[in-house]
Amino acid sequence: MIGAPDTGGKGRLVAEYARKIGAIISLRGFHAGWTALRRGAPDNRAAVRAVITQSPQGLFATAPQDAFVGKSLRESGQYGQDQIDLAAGFVSSDDRVLVVGAHVGSIAIPLARRCQHLTAIEANPWTYKLLQCNLILNDASNVVAHHFAASDQAGTIRFVMNTHNSGGSKRYPLTPDPAYFYDNPDIVEVPCFALDEKLDRHDYALVFMDIEGSEYFALRGMPKILRAARCLIVEFLPHHLTNVAGITPETFAEALMPHFASMFVPSLGRRFARPDFAPALREMFDRGQGDDGLVFTK
């Protein structure tokens, strides 16, 4: 058992964290697993809730049913390496970084090794627990994690907790496309805040954002942070603009134009000046073409 008193190293950290959140832990093969969080009888071991995998990017606890980020980490040992490499090019050792939509930390934790401080925001209650565990597993002492949804004002939002693709969890969409509900996700209420109001500091050199359609709301709530940032990397998906945010690509561009002079689209290999933000995004939108990370710079 990982939780045995004489267990040392990372195993001891896993045991301490499992006890803290009320999990029962077990060891199978090369993976450490948390069984179901206690609800009722203490010996309820009905379902494994997470497995811990060693990868070149670090040690990561992921949900076993996660067929995207979790599966990639378990089977290939990495996830999002291209995005990590892209973001790392804008970061130095004395910088502060903000990751909005940190998920289990597969991108935030490698980036934290390149900077002085990293703030991680995660809205999904379960993946936030995994993020907390992964910060312990990787000794990420320069990371501060927060559980809330980034938005344009304080309050609460309804949140869709996907299981098959936990990274696809999102605020309840304006248009409830069946593609967002195929795995019968739980719908919960989570707190939301404007980042400028919630965070004590605004001096982040890099902002990395992937929040499944909530990007526009987050951008409206962080003008001070955007003003200070050297670079913003943000996901752009046409169906999220339409179904989740209910906005046009022109509206999306308007939130960015006051703060950045250049937009690079990795999937196109093209760079656009400020006056061309909206036309370029409109063309992508009309073709149904998204990008994992548009890069905006001063």
DSSP string, 102-145: -TTSTTHHHHHTTSSEEEEEE--HHHHHHHHHHHHHTT-TTEEE
Asked whether the predicted pLDDT for residue 125 surpasses 90, the reply is: yes
CB 131 within 8 A of CB 104: yes
Proportion of the chain above pLDDT 70, given as a percent: 84
Flag the least confident range among 46-55, 68-77, 184-193: 46-55
Look at residue 56 and tell me if it is in a domain.
Answer: no
Q: Looking up tokens 């073409």, which residue turns up?
A: 289
Q: Would you place residue 279 in the very low, low, confident or very high pLDDT band (cuts 50, 70, 90)?
A: very high
Proportion of the chain above pLDDT 90, given as a percent: 81
- Is there a single domain that holds both residue 230 and residue 116? yes
Asked whether the predicted pLDDT for residue 222 surpasses 50, the reply is: yes
Q: Would you place residue 36 in the very low, low, confident or very high pLDDT band (cuts 50, 70, 90)?
A: very low
Look at residue 172 and tell me if it is in a domain.
Answer: yes
Q: Would you place residue 28 in the very low, low, confident or very high pLDDT band (cuts 50, 70, 90)?
A: very low
CB 113 within 8 A of CB 105: no
CB 191 within 8 A of CB 156: yes
Look at residue 21 and tell me if it is in a domain.
Answer: yes
pTM: 0.86
Q: What is the CATH number of the domain that holds 169?
A: 3.40.50.150
- Is there a single domain that holds both residue 251 and residue 211? yes
Asked whether the predicted pLDDT for residue 228 surpasses 60, the reply is: yes
Range of the domain at 237: 64-297
For residue 276, give the DSSP letter: G
- Is there a single domain that holds both residue 249 and residue 109? yes
Q: How many domains does the chain have?
A: 2
Q: Would you place residue 21 in the very low, low, confident or very high pLDDT band (cuts 50, 70, 90)?
A: low
Please tell me the predicted confidence (pLDDT) of residue 194.
98
Q: Would you place residue 77 in the very low, low, confident or very high pLDDT band (cuts 50, 70, 90)?
A: confident
Three-class secondary structure of residue 228 per DSSP:
helix
Residue 164: partners with Cβ closer than 8 Å, 6 or more residues away: 65, 66, 67, 68, 182, 183
**pLDDT, tens digit, for every residue of 265-275?**
999 999 999 99
Asked whether the predicted pLDDT for residue 29 surpasses 70, the reply is: no
Question: Shortest CA distance to 248 belongs to which of 276, 221, 212, 281?
Answer: 281
Angle at 33 between CA 31 and CA 36, to 5 degrees: 160
**pLDDT, tens digit, for every residue of 237-254?**
999 999 999 999 999 999
- Is there a single domain that holds both residue 72 and residue 173? yes
- Is there a single domain that holds both residue 129 and residue 13? no
- Is there a single domain that holds both residue 157 and residue 36? no
- Is there a single domain that holds both residue 191 and residue 220? yes
User: Mean pLDDT over residues 72-91, rounded?
Assistant: 94
